[in-house]
Structure 1
Amino acid sequence: MPSPYQGKAPTQWPAVTQELIKDHPLQLSELREVVLEAWDSIFASKMGTKGFHIGTDILPKPQIMGFLLHELIPLELASRYPNEWRGEESASDKDIVYVPNASYSIEVKTSSDPKHIFGNRSYAQATTKGKKAKSGYYLAINFEKFAALRRDPKILLIRFGWLDSDDWVGQRAATGQQARLPPEVEQGKLFELYRKS
């Protein structure tokens, strides 16, 4: 599928993004609500026979908090719309699958960086057969990490939009394991749904 931004200057990207978002079956207000509910669910859950709580007894690393969001957001959508949304089941699935039309499926990216999201190095490489497509809708979530004086970290930023596989820039070093987005891509292709005040 050709990029919806093909032939468009970066100054035109926000308008294209708005059209892509308008075409998506999820309302932005509900998407924002689902993310914030998933975050709250992490802290409301009890773990183990002693009922340990995240934020009180357990202070997970950002990777674990990101993993929990990746799991809970699709579950929350599936509980609301069981015939429309589900989580990833195969290597070719996005993180959140729209059953009626996979082109509306969503990849989730989380980061404890205050404003940027990152992919692993493979995001800056061509998609291999049988793996998920790297172009499509993205839900980008930035959150605070636990610290000595912060036991109730918050969601900082939620954005939604469309990214193309060639938007990702891999690290130059051969050992680099990260891919990033140029500023004009984050600004033009990801629409802000929420920012912590």
Structure 2
Amino acid sequence: MISPYVGIHSDKWAEKTDELIGRYPLGMNELVEVVLASWEGVFASKIGRGGFQIGEHIFPKPQIIAFFLHELIPLELASRHPGVWRGEEVASDKDVVYVPDAAFSMEIKTSSHPSQIFGNRSYAQQGSTGKKSKSGYYLAVNFEKSLKGAKAARLRKIRFGWLDHADWQGQTAATGQQARLLNEVERGKLRLLFENR
């Protein structure tokens, strides 16, 4: 896949990002609504015979909250637009699939870090033989950890844009398992849609 940013200097990335978002087949206001509804759904759900609630009785690690968001966001979109959006079904699918044109499918990245998102090490490996493309549209969601005795966890940020495989930087340690984005990439290629300060 050829990057839409080829030949564009980093100080012009934000303009290109706005153009890519402008062509997207889902309005950004609705995307924010979907993420917020999914976030609320995590904490409104009851688990077990006792009706135990996340954030009240159960305080999952961020990875569990991330799992729920990865499941609920595509389900929420599919319920609003049946046959148009769906979740991942096969290994080559993105996390959220736009059925009419897979080029508009998106990956979801979530993090309990206040501002950054991360990928696993394979995102930074050139020539990686992963089953799905690491380039394309990304939905980035940052949230607070759900901690016992603390105020209710909040969704911090929702961002959306296009990231290329080459944008991911691996940890320098040979055993590092994480990939991150440079600040200029996050600023230029991910548009801030929502922020809870």
* TM-score normalised over the length of structure 2: 0.97
CA distance in 2, matches of 1:164, 1:144: 27
Write the deviation string for residues 53-107 of structure 1: whole angstroms up to 9, x where unpaired: 1111100000000010000000000001111000001110000000000000000
Write the deviation string for residues 106-125 of structure 1: whole angstroms up to 9, x where unpaired: 00000000000000000001
Change in CA separation of 1:26 and 1:67 when aligned onto 2, cut-off 3 Å = same
Match of 2:145 in 1: 145
Structural mapping, 1:71-82, within 5 Å: 71-82=71-82
Shift of 1:150: 1.9
Residue 42 in 1 paired to residue 42 in 2? Answer: yes
Write the deviation string for residues 19-67 of structure 1: whole angstroms up to 9, x where unpaired: 0000000100000010000000011111112111111110000000001
CA distance in 2, matches of 1:113, 1:150: 17
SS in 2 for 1:173: coil
CA distance in 2, matches of 1:68, 1:135: 23
SS in 2 for 1:37: helix
User: Runs of 4 or more off by more than 4 Å in structure 1?
Assistant: none
Shift of 1:147: 2.5
CA distance in 2, matches of 1:127, 1:135: 12
Residue 22 in 1 paired to residue 31 in 2? Answer: no
Write the deviation string for residues 137-179 of structure 1: whole angstroms up to 9, x where unpaired: 0000000002344251010000000000000000111100000
Unaligned runs of 5+ in 2: none
* TM-score normalised over the length of structure 1: 0.97
CA RMSD, aligned part only?
A: 1.0
Match of 1:128 in 2: 129
Give the partner amino acid of 1:37.
A
Kindly, what percent of the aligned residue pairs are identical?
61
Contact kept? 2:59, 2:148, Cα under 8 Å: no
Match of 1:170 in 2: 170
Match of 1:58 in 2: 58
Aligned residues: 196
SS in 1 for 2:50: coil
Match of 2:13 in 1: 13
